[in-house]
A and B are shown apart, each in its own frame.
Chain A
Amino acid sequence: MEMFDQLFSLLGATIRMATPLIFAAMAGIFSERSGIIDISLEGKMLMSAFAAAVVSYETGSPIFGLGAALFISMMLSLLHGYASITQKGNQTISGLAVNFLASGLTVTLGHAWYSQGGLTPALKNEQRFTAIDLPGAEWMGENIPVLGSFYERVLSGHNILVYLAFVAAAVSFWVLFRSRFGLRLRATGEEPNAVDSAGISVAWVRYRAILIAGSLAGFAGAYLSIAQNASFIREMTSGRGYIALAAVIFGKWHPRGALLACLLFGFLQALETRMQNVELPLVGELPTQLFSAIPYIITVVLLAGFIGKAIAPKAIGRPYVKER
């Protein structure tokens, strides 16, 4: 029983760790499937984490905090979009600029407003999204072997955003592969000429795609500061935007694949915190840095040969210029 409890709480932690990755990866899929490289996921998450913490603290409502996160993240998307769609600039550079902007602005504003070394003041529980216990979780955990424990530790006890992340993945799949908008979006990332000659505006499709990406990245950022934690901490995204991009590639730009990749990476992160100071037989204590590096190593190694070639959308990274 003890073993199952431990395993299930590890899986529960996996889901909590995976949540921001799932939001961000879905954001990445929308953006990249439309042909826009979105390296700015990191910056959008960071900025929206900051906005969520500030607004939640000032208004006392996590809903307003979340709203602010979505708004600011979509604004950054528009900035990225203006540079890379309207002005046809380099998408990677423009994304990088967003990341620098977010990294600098969050710390500077945090300092100026709260003078706590870039942190925002700690949030009270009612200013955050807190864990929801599903009905009967505790009772089942105590009385039903294995399954009850699974219900209590894996399915129950997460905040609302965690459940929303899985909904977001399902909705993303549906939108991309079952709706007209999805068909056009995918076509735009593959062959914008075909979309244009069909009388559809490539720029408008791409703007909508990055706005969706912006809102999803906003969820990811808000989750970090007002759900998983109780304040904004400088650089609190710590590379999650990039890991999410790795998950997008690993999942071959498909919501299902990316979801699984995010869960795998979430599992590794959950393991990382549990493996600190743990002596393993034969190898001894593993450095935690190794676990942080594993998502990238896995992505590279698996892409190099085990899961076949990940083929990016054909038009990715190329600004659309009307042919003569």
Chain B
Amino acid sequence: MTPAIELSSINKQFGPVWANRDIDLKIMPGTIHGIVGENGAGKSTLMSILYGFYTADSGDIHVNGRKVTIRNSHHAIDLGIGMVHQHFMLVETFTVLENIMLGMEGGSLLFKARSRARKALEEITEKYGLNVDPDALVGELPVGLQQRVEILKALYRGAKVLILDEPTSVLTPQETGQLFEILRTLRSQGVTVLIITHKLKEIMAITDNVSVMRGGCMVAHRQTSETSTTELAELMVGRTVLLQVDKEVAVPGRTRLKVEGLSYTDERGVKRLKDVSFHVRAGEILGLAGVTGNGQSELMKVLAGSLPQDSGSFTLDTSNGVYTFNVNDYRDAAMMRDCSVGHVPENRLVQGVVKSFPASENAILGYQNKEEYGSPLLDPAKIVAATEEMMEAYDVRPRLPGLKTANFSGGNQQKLVLAREMMKEPELLLIGQPTRGVDIGAIEAIHRNLIDARDKGAAVLLVSVELDEIMSLSDRIIVMNDGMITGEVNAADTNEMELGLLMTSTNRKDDEAMATAVETPKAEAVA
């Protein structure tokens, strides 16, 4: 059988860096083929070459046995290669139909083009069972449907090979299930699917074959039925990796953070937090699950002192005393740090570091007034020494405190922020997306550090969109949707399906147990 796509000896260099080196890949028609690899392994570059965004420095591409040079994305479309990008390429103010026909209108008048596209779309919808209202505005569709529009766009252009780049990163487990259903239908209709992901579980669930990339090279090809997540993880990292986090049962202490009826409305008048109540105790990790953009970011910012709430309050109970922050109480991030609150912002590459500063300055950012750094002046020797210690402990590479932060890779910038916040041993740690953009090998270490912090008595509030991470690290899990807490479960006895349902639920679940749980320690503190 002729492969649908065959790549041989593909090379691509960016300056001195080999993004792709000597890549061979065969994709058989009518199969679902997965490509896995860590960040920077060269997956995206390879797909960009296949989709005509880049041209390879050398090497051959065969499509259906015919040798081709793919000049641009238009050419790729003509060859029957369609791409669904991680960030959707959709015009939000257009209807589904307009988005689908853009670039393929087939006539200079929209009136005729619309009716023609509508007819063609109906045929595709019927053939593949992909239902979307063609007249809905794309901006008003949920993410799962937007993705479906992207798939329809590719099929409308006659795609026989569909490339999906991290397709599940924005989906709930239910939406992921639906996507996989669609992909299976496509396969049964003869479409070849190429799926790029770093989620090994999904590779196992959906693909027929899998190829592993590491450091710009293709390190292995496997039949999915003959491999395992453990083997794939090892191939990706190049050494044995512990996928499961080992941890003891939590021994929670007093309530460190008590949130009561917190609400927040943003500057556009959208209610981001609706009467949120929960608590976190010392020595436990509370996971906050939810699809991105349902109020988690705002909650973290309010608790970290950088946004004021509209109503409600939160109480911190640390060794520095008990403080309740009501609506009009002044607070800022520095004050929170003084109350022993550590904060690793979700978007730490923007909020966590000043990229043009050397690593050493970012390593003390927010703690620059501490005596240990020579306050009221800054003592460079002490700062560098502290930075070196952080880099050692969190394996930040390269170990150069003087290097400009922008010159570290994203994962290493991340580790630097984690080191800064966690090595101060805060009593309450607010941590958002701890492993976003971090390689599998480093994830293991970060998880270990979080568990250690918990075991030393820190209260940890963990926000993550990775359900696996939430489930393996947390002791308790609360779920947010549309600014409300929609459920609380015990991490030990829940599963993805239950969490997924809660993530789309619209029923409020209040922290009923809270009142009793808090009374005792508060009385102690006052006494």
Binding site for B on A (CB under 8 A): 177-184, 186-187, 190-191, 193-200, 314, 322-324
Contacts and interface: CB of A to CB of B under 8 A. Distances in A.
B107 interface: yes
B53 A195 contact: no
A323 B103 CA distance: 19
A196 B73 contact: yes
A198 B109 contact: no
Contact of B91 (A179, A190, A324): A190
Contact of B108 (A179, A195, A314, A324): A179
26 contacts: A178-B109, A178-B110, A180-B110, A181-B108, A183-B94, A183-B98, A183-B102, A186-B91, A186-B94, A190-B91, A190-B92, A190-B94, A191-B89, A191-B91, A194-B89, A194-B90, A194-B91, A195-B103, A196-B89, A197-B85, A199-B72, A199-B73, A199-B77, A200-B103, A323-B87, A324-B44
Contacts of B72: 199
B376 to A, nearest CB: 40
B105 A191 contact: no
A190 B88 CA distance: 13
Contact of B94 (A179, A187, A323, A324): A187
A67 to B, nearest CB: 27
B93 interface: yes
Nearest to B78: A199
A-B residue pairs, 7 tightest by C-beta:
A199-B74, A198-B103, A194-B89, A191-B91, A180-B105, A197-B89, A190-B91
Contacts of A314: 92-93
A124 to B, nearest CB: 43
A182 B45 CA distance: 33
Interface in B334-391: none
B102 A198 contact: yes
Interface in B104-119: 104-105, 107-111, 113
B448 to A, nearest CB: 32
B255 interface: no
B110 A182 contact: yes
A196 B44 CA distance: 17
Most chain B Cβ neighbours within 10 Å, of A178, A196, A197: A197
B504 interface: no
Nearest to A309: B268
B150 to A, nearest CB: 10
A139 B107 CA distance: 49
B292 interface: no
Most chain B Cβ neighbours within 10 Å, of A180, A181, A196: A180
Contacts of A182: 110
Given A187-B94, A199-B77, A322 B53 contact: yes
B374 to A, nearest CB: 41
A183 B110 contact: yes
Contacts of B110: 177-180, 182-183
A324 B103 contact: no
Contacts of A183: 94, 98, 102, 105, 110
Given A178-B109, A193-B87, 17 more contacts: A179-B108, A180-B107, A180-B110, A181-B108, A183-B102, A187-B91, A187-B94, A190-B91, A190-B92, A191-B92, A194-B99, A195-B102, A198-B102, A199-B77, A200-B102, A324-B44, A324-B45
A169 B103 CA distance: 26
B111 A178 contact: yes
B89 A193 contact: yes
Most chain B Cβ neighbours within 10 Å, of A179, A182, A183, A190: A183
Most chain B Cβ neighbours within 10 Å, of A187, A198, A314, A324: A198
Contacts of A190: 91-94
A312 to B, nearest CB: 11
Nearest to A188: B91
Nearest to A187: B91
B506 interface: no
Contacts of B83: 197
Contacts of A193: 85, 87, 89
Most chain A Cβ neighbours within 10 Å, of B89, B91, B94, B108: B91
B431 to A, nearest CB: 29
Interface string B34-52: 0000000000110010000
A187 B92 contact: no
A200 to B, nearest CB: 5
